[in-house]
Structure 1
Amino acid sequence: MSDTGGFTQLRDAIEQRTAVIGVIGLGYVGLPLAAAAARAGFPVVGFDTDPAKPALINAGRSYIDAVDGRVLADLVARGRISATDDLSGLAGCDVVVICVPTPLTRHRDPDLSYVEATTRTIAQYLRAPQLVVLESTTYPGTTREVLKPILEAAGHVSGRDAFLAFSPEREDPGNAAFSTVTIPKVVAGDGAEAQALVVALYGAIVDKVVPVSSLDVAEAVKITENIFRAVNIALVNELKVIFSAMDIDVWEVIEAAKTKPFGYMPFYPGPGLGGHCIPIDPFYLTWKSREFELPTRFIELAGEVNLSMPRYVVDKLAEALDRRLRLALSASRVLVLGLAYKKNVSDLRESPSLKLIELLEARGAEVSFHDPHIAEIPPTREWSHLAGRKSVALDAGALAGFDAVLIATDHDMVDYALVVRHAKLVVDTRNVVARLGLDPERVVKA
């Protein structure tokens, strides 16, 4: 390892925790990371193009469940963290961490426009030397093939002016057992010096760092984790459909199967996949594999199965309405219970509940929703036509006014006993009614 002046300067600043860390993108990944770095003793500046987020942070108000508002307010009061929508402030940072979205295009190809635009902005304001870390999930090769050329085209040589690294985010919203600090951090750098810097950085913030041999390996780690989940969830979703036709309860099967102490790991079916990672990231590898003329049959089949689940659920709901209430779906009022993509969070990203609402209304149903964590549907790129709708009250009178309640997300804050007592029909995609031992008479699993 050559001991360049820039490397030594950055290493010393990181070790002494005087390095100013800039975090670009203050969402479910960026804000928890920024707060963790500030708590570790680093001065932190958060950047987001949405001015509402910096305003909330500077007022000491957290909008992410994983970041305690009192902790954030204390960090702000002590000057450990601040936020802005003015990206020219990147010039004052020693470390820049990119936590921006990596969605898919309408044709399910990678959309790296946020990463590319952010990197061009960094190149504009880069003050050598800087450590630049990408955390956004992407396909293997992105840091080398996209970030590095953009920076070097602007005259910033990797390993001299900019030390490039990749460290995949591993946030799990709503999981109280793990936090940013306690989840092991995979890291890799473009060269030995970048590797040493990124190991030192995250070693000062999280409990355990896992260095790997290259940027591409680190990028592949995150893709592999998400593909593993996507394929196994697709498997149990397919088993759900098959076992339902055989009049076998897939949930009972899974509960019994998981008693085996080896060779089995339980995954659970649902109404579809949500969140940023699992529904999207596997397709990044599918796209990249075309460069090598290799098929990704498991990944694509898993995607097809998981994407088909909302339609399957709507069909089961329509069948239950017809058989039990002699009512057509087109003449029914349906309450979708749970809008977030997973329990006990307010995260709407890629939530199957939004697709369920769209499918139900396309078939003529009148649809409302209740979610204790989401008072109103915010504007989104794909679901702008649903923006502004508000969560309805959940009480006996309201429940009696619906022909069916569709449990899409099993939030703990919901009174399911009340739902089962007063709903005419319950369609349960999460097995919550059986799990709680409630009366199954008016309940259909889907």
Structure 2
Amino acid sequence: MTPLPSWRSGRMWRQPRHARKPLTNGRKTSESGVLQISDRPSASSARLGAAMSEDRLSEATGRGSEGIGVAEALPVSRDEDGSSAEPPESRRPDRPLPPVLSTPSREGWLATRRNRAGLWWRRASPNLRGTVYMITALLVYAVMVGAFKHLGTAIPLVETLMIRQIIMSAVIVAIAGRSLKQALKTDRPGLQIFRGLITLASMLCGFSALIHIPLAQATSISFSQVLFVTVAAVLILKERVDRARWVATVLGFAGVLIMLNPSADGLNFWALMSLCGALFGAGITISVRILGTSERTETILIYQGLVLMVVLAWPAWALWVWPTAEQWFWLVLLSLFGTAGQWLITKAYQVGEASALAPLDFSRLILAVFTGFVFFAEIPTLTTLIGAAIVIGATLYTMRRNARGRLGADLSTPP
């Protein structure tokens, strides 16, 4: 075979023309276009050695592999740090790969559902939003009532109300945060104080009756508040009550009377206390409706807490009984749930009409019957079940009427 040209026998040789193109990915050749050949074989020289045996090299050069390394046969380009350049086929392309579309994530699905729910909530009528607030408040109140019933007379009622109000005020202040100064501003301080006093009277009457008589009976008597609210909404708030709402209210009250099952002996003292609590509760509803046009929810609850703590401070101190660990748990629980329920029911009457939301209060009876049966072994009578069925029908009908309510219903400005 023809021996190799003499210019290949040296340690340096100039690159062929096709190899003088600049390398990609930031790799550079030497400034003079000449590459240094190392005695250590590279990846490309190893591939060349596999294709060309040592016998053929010996025939071509007459010197064998000792005189010339296989690496001397081909040019090898190196980076500035001394590492060998990758072959063109192993280099990464300069253009980025196209994105791979994946299925929607769970977070994206939840965000879409949340946006749809928010859009539905903003488009809902005021009475429908008030209905949602009201139903949620009643569920929360069911837990609070069960905690009150469980504590019973082991702790004085004024002490329980004092602890509840302290925790409730602390939560409201924490929610207000930096806007606390703004929440303390009120345009009707006299009405705020009056609402605090009737709230205290309603709590004392209602909770004392709740402890001493069956849960279903106490709840049934408290539903007489609906008649007071409906009449007061027409006389004081000048709200329009259509025939359907009047029918729902009357039917609900008829169901309450069936469950009450009055006898010739009349009602006992604690039943009358429950009735007084319903009367004061109607006053709370009307006052919230009036204050809701100009006052914030946090403002109403903060002033209620201030009035209750000032009035209950001395009686609670005089009758104080230190609670046990279990009693502390129930006290904190009823305080937190009472705070949530108070905020929700206040928000409900600020948004919707009082006469439209009042019949929904009948659903408390279903929760009271369930709580009394499961936790306190109070078996409801047949009259209670019949009355409950009537109440459920009236409540569902009222919710349907509220859902059909027009956006921007007539909400008369109170005096």
Q: TM-score, normalized by length of structure 1?
A: 0.22
Structure that is richer in helix per residue = 2
Structure that is richer in strand per residue = 1
Q: TM-score, normalized by length of structure 2?
A: 0.23
Quick one: higher RCO (CA 8 Å, sep 6+), 1 or 2?
2
